[in-house]
Structure 1
Amino acid sequence: MKKIAVVGAGISGLSMANYLEKHNIDYHIFERRKKEDMAGHGFLLPQEGVEYLSQIIDCQLLFEKGNFLKKYIQYSHQGKILAEKDLDQVFAISRQALITILSQNISQEKITYGKAITLSDIEEGKLQSIDGSHSNADFTIIADGSRSRIRGEIFTEEKLRTVRESEVVNIVKNKDIATSIDNDFMKFHHEKGGLTFGILKLSSDTILWYSQFDNEKYIINECSPENLKAYMLEVFHEWDPLVFSIIMQSDYENVHLWHVYELEKLNPFYKENIVFIGDAAHPLIPFTSQGVTSALKDSFSLTKHLVEKENIQQAFKEYEEERKPEIETHIKNGRTLLNQFLLPLDQYTENILPISYK
């Protein structure tokens, strides 16, 4: 097997590296950020995502760092239960914890941090020697996220549009609050629509929370942690006391304001000797809760076809044919969930679980 360059050391890139390790395939990862800047917040993993992870990591380590959720409970913004649904092996974990677990199987000699790769470094899909210490790669896997620079340089006609939703995401460490809630996925909805507050219990003392805003109704600009906290307290001051307490007691030093984007139309998943995986191939809006699982399945599928096919182009072609239909389903489901989010509660056609399934 030829040598592979992987661009991006986030969840997608590290998942890919773990699958390549499993098959003893040579690779090197290049990440533009510093290692200490790779932390994040967290996400949901449906059962399928846990199953794919179990092929490349010790799941006991995974289960020690996160939490299985029992039910999805939908509330009005003042705390009235609107709907409940049992969850089947849906797992919540912080991004930092999963990155740490995925990194354990990767020799640090195989990752170069602080090195941005652009299309000019890649000729016909082959990454050139960067500083003499890394041999040339025969093809390149791009895993540099939803705003992929390399994707934009290759597919110059693509249109990346702003989704009518922004998110504020944070983690609060507070044992008293964590103890007071069950292992449920809790989501509060404003009766007029376009504003929600979600709560995921990650451990006995840690809660991941996020708020989704209709960004045509709620204008949130990049601002200091102090100003963002003040804004959150103003917007949510009449909500259920649990919501207000979490907002009040959170440390905003690492809060993230996320402006969401999507492609108007999916690009091909490869061109010549360059292939895309995860959000770099197909940005998914957050309502799907399928970003990590899709990255894992991309990595599994691409590795499988690389092992089975001698011809790289044929491997890429079969990878795209296998993965694209499911991604298109998640995109459709995500837009359905977005459209419902924007409606007042009394116009919801049904109480939809905010996880996309194929």
Structure 2
Amino acid sequence: MKKIAVVGAGISGLSMANYLEKYKIDYHIYERRKKNDLSGHGFLIPKEGMDYLYQIIAPDLLVKNGNFLKKYTQYSRTGKILAEKDLDNVFAISRHSLINLLAQNISPEKITYEETIIADEQQKGKLQLSDGITVDADIAVISDGSRSRIRKHFFMDETMTRVRESEVVNIIQNKEISDSIEKDFIKFHHEDGGLTFGVLKLSDDTVLWYSQFDNQKYMINECSAENLRKYMLDVFENWHPLIPEIIQKSDYTNVHLWNVYELEKLNAFYKDNFVFIGDAAHPLIPFTSQGVTSALKDAFSLTKYLVEEDNIQQAFSKYEAERKPEIETHIHNGRTLLSQFLLPLNQQTENIIPISYK
């Protein structure tokens, strides 16, 4: 098997590395960020994603670091129950915890941090380090996120559109608040639409919270943590008391302000010896809650075909043919969920779970 360079040590890149480890395939990961990126970001993972995750992480370790959610409850902003639905093994986990679990099986010498990789302008199908040295690899697996620089290098005419939604994501450690939530996924909605506040219980003392804003109604600019906290308190002042309490008591050191973009049209999933996975191949609107699952399935599928096929292009082609139709479904579902989010509550479809299913 040929040597593989993986660009990006996020969920998709580390998932790929774990599957490559299973088949003892030679690889190295290059990540432009520092090793410990503690942004307050987390994930919902449906049952299908968990089935893939179990192949590379022991179930008992996952349970120790996250939480299975029993029920989804939709509330008005004042706390009136609008809809309820049982959840089928939907798992909540922080990004930091999942990154650590995925990295535990990877030898430290197989990951280089704080290294920005670009496509080699002189040698087709090769990568280049920041010092100009060409990377010794036959295949480049690109997993450098939704704003992938390497994808843009190959598909220069692509259009990235800013979605009419922004998110603030954070994690609070507070046992009293966590005890009040049960093992549920709860979400509060403004009656005029375009503003929500979601809460996920991660453990006995840890809660992940996120707020979604219609960024045409609510202008959130990059600002200091303290100013963001004040803005959040002002916006959610008259909501259910749990929400301002969470906002007030949270630490904003690692808060994450996320401006969402999507590709107007999907590119090919591969070019020459470069193949794209996860958000680098197909940025998904966060309403789908399919980012992790899609990354895991991409990594599994690509590894499978790299093992089965001697011809790299044939392996890439089969990977794209398998994954692209499902991704198109999630893109469609994400846009539908976004449209619902922007509508007043009395015009929204009842009891929609903010998860895309194929």
The 3-state SS of whatever aligns with 1:310 is coil
Matched, 1:167 2:164: no
Unaligned ranges ≥5, structure 2 = none
Distance in 2, matches of 1:239 and 1:122, equals 58
Deviations 1:253-287 (A, max 9, x none): 11111000000000000001000000000000100
The 3-state SS of whatever aligns with 1:123 is coil
Distance in 2, matches of 1:83 and 1:241, equals 20
Distance in 1, matches of 2:129 and 2:208, equals 41
Matched, 1:8 2:8: yes
The letter for the 2-side match of 1:172 is I
Which residue of 1 is the match for residue 288 of structure 2?
A: 288
The root-mean-square deviation of aligned C-alpha atoms, in Å, is: 1.5
Which residue of 1 is the match for residue 254 of structure 2?
A: 254
Distance in 2, matches of 1:245 and 1:100, equals 29
Distance in 2, matches of 1:192 and 1:129, equals 50
Query: In the alignment, is the contact (CA less than 8 A) between 2:117 and 2:130 conserved in 1?
Result: no
Give the alignment's TM-score, normalised by structure 1. Answer: 0.97
Distance in 1, matches of 2:82 and 2:111, equals 47
Which residue of 2 is the match for residue 315 of structure 1?
A: 315
Which residue of 1 is the match for residue 158 of structure 2?
A: 158
The aligned runs of 1:260-339 (5 Å cut-off) are: 260-339=260-339
Matched, 1:200 2:200: yes
Which residue of 1 is the match for residue 186 of structure 2?
A: 186
Distance in 2, matches of 1:342 and 1:96, equals 30
Give the alignment's TM-score, normalised by structure 2. Answer: 0.97
Matched, 1:211 2:208: no
The aligned runs of 1:39-58 (5 Å cut-off) are: 39-58=39-58
- Bigger shift: residues 106-115 or 123-132: 123-132
The 3-state SS of whatever aligns with 1:37 is coil
Deviations 1:305-332 (A, max 9, x none): 0000000000000000000000000000
Query: In the alignment, is the contact (CA less than 8 A) between 2:119 and 2:153 conserved in 1?
Result: yes
Which residue of 2 is the match for residue 99 of structure 1?
A: 99
The aligned runs of 1:104-123 (5 Å cut-off) are: 104-120=104-120, 123=123
Distance in 1, matches of 2:211 and 2:34, equals 28
Which residue of 2 is the match for residue 138 of structure 1?
A: 138
Alpha-carbon shift at residue 119 of structure 1 (Å): 1.6
CA distance change for structure 1 residues 129 and 179 in 2, over 3 Å: closer, same or farther?
closer
Distance in 2, matches of 1:161 and 1:41, equals 22
The aligned runs of 1:79-90 (5 Å cut-off) are: 79-90=79-90
The letter for the 1-side match of 2:167 is E
How many residues align? The count is 358
Deviations 1:321-349 (A, max 9, x none): 00000000000000000000000001113
CA distance change for structure 1 residues 14 and 134 in 2, over 3 Å: closer, same or farther?
farther
The letter for the 2-side match of 1:56 is I
CA distance change for structure 1 residues 131 and 73 in 2, over 3 Å: closer, same or farther?
same
Distance in 2, matches of 1:306 and 1:122, equals 26
The letter for the 2-side match of 1:210 is Y
Distance in 1, matches of 2:111 and 2:137, equals 14
Unaligned ranges ≥5, structure 1 = none
Alpha-carbon shift at residue 128 of structure 1 (Å): 5.3
Query: In the alignment, is the contact (CA less than 8 A) between 1:233 and 1:244 conserved in 2?
Result: yes
Alpha-carbon shift at residue 132 of structure 1 (Å): 11
The letter for the 2-side match of 1:169 is V
The letter for the 2-side match of 1:234 is D
CA distance change for structure 1 residues 122 and 142 in 2, over 3 Å: closer, same or farther?
farther
Alpha-carbon shift at residue 247 of structure 1 (Å): 0.8
The letter for the 2-side match of 1:311 is N
Distance in 2, matches of 1:241 and 1:161, equals 36
CA distance change for structure 1 residues 40 and 23 in 2, over 3 Å: closer, same or farther?
farther
Deviations 1:94-127 (A, max 9, x none): 1111111111110011001111001237832233
The 3-state SS of whatever aligns with 1:51 is helix
CA distance change for structure 1 residues 176 and 122 in 2, over 3 Å: closer, same or farther?
farther
- Bigger shift: residues 31-40 or 21-30: 31-40
The letter for the 2-side match of 1:17 is A
Distance in 1, matches of 2:97 and 2:188, equals 26
